[in-house]
Amino acid sequence: MAELLHLEKLWAGYGEAVVLEDIALTLNEGDSLSLLGRNGMGKTTLLSTLMGAANYHSGTMRFAGQDLSKVAPHARAHLGLGWVPQERDIFPSLSVEENLTVVATKGHWDLQKIYAMFPRLQERRANMGNQLSGGEQQMLAIGRALMLNPKLLLLDEPLEGLAPLIVQELLSIIQQLTEESGMAVILVEQHARQILPLTRQALVLERGKGVYQGAAQTLLDDSALLDGWLGVAAH
């Protein structure tokens, strides 16, 4: 598999404030990564830096062969980055179907495939975004990101605040995406033991620095290490 994302000695933050220090990461096409750490350790900042919503300070940030630091934030989605932020950011006054089609680009993912993966969205296709439950909004946010046909999908705490049944449904969908889609995925989530089985790699951040990078299964098998870095968030 060809290299898709390469970060080396990456420093980033907000304004002059530094949040991420000396981050290194390589992700190949179709690969998957659990991005872990306690609250406030820099996970969302790393995704925001990739999307241009946080300040890049220095270091290498290469995506799909291009220097990402020189690509305008609005152009990064067209380059192949799909982002599902914690806030979901769906269009509340558009219908489900309009939310999906307004951003669509040609590729593997189309309306039919999204509805096959999320039958609930097909049932609600005429509903406005603000008429959906939290779980349905999350499904719509993921579906909309997929309609961009990204090379890399960034999921920022997609299970946060959702009912257990919806969590299980989304975990199954995320597993399909990481194992079968051929698309690379970076998954941020508080509950490490839920998501480590879904990804090949893991990166643990501690105060803005990478303290573990390697196989997700190795980290999952080492309870002492996992609990030491993540505490209650590991469960």
Tokens coding 168: 């299980």
What pLDDT band is residue 234 in, cutting at 50, 70 and 90? Answer: low
Q: Output 228-235 pairs: Cβ under 8 A, ≥24 positions apart.
A: 229/36, 229/37, 229/38, 229/204, 230/36, 230/37, 230/38, 230/192, 230/204, 231/38, 233/36, 233/37, 233/38, 233/39, 233/190, 233/191, 233/192, 234/191, 234/192, 234/193, 235/191, 235/192, 235/193
Q: How far apart are CA 70 and CA 210, in angstroms?
A: 24
- φ, ψ at 81 (rounded to 5°): -100, 125
**pLDDT reading at 169 higher than 70:** yes
Dihedral sign (CA 194, 197, 201, 202)? positive
* CATH entry, 30-37+72-234, from 3.30.479.10, 3.30.420.40, 3.10.310.70, 3.40.50.300: 3.40.50.300
201 is written with which tokens? 């790699």
Asked whether the predicted pLDDT for residue 180 surpasses 90, the reply is: no
In the structure encoding, which two tokens stand for residue 120, read together? 């609930």
DSSP at 29: T
Express each pLDDT in 104-143 by its tens digit.
Answer: 999 999 999 999 999 999 999 999 999 999 999 999 999 9
Asked whether the predicted pLDDT for residue 21 surpasses 60, the reply is: yes
What is residue 148's predicted lDDT score, i.e. its pLDDT? 94
pLDDT tens digits for range 186-199: 999 888 999 999 99
Q: Which of 35, 87, 61 is nearest to 210 (CA)?
A: 35
Q: What percent of the chain has pLDDT over 90?
A: 84
Selected residue with higher pLDDT from 86 and 27 = 27
Write down the domain spans for the chain: 30-37+72-234
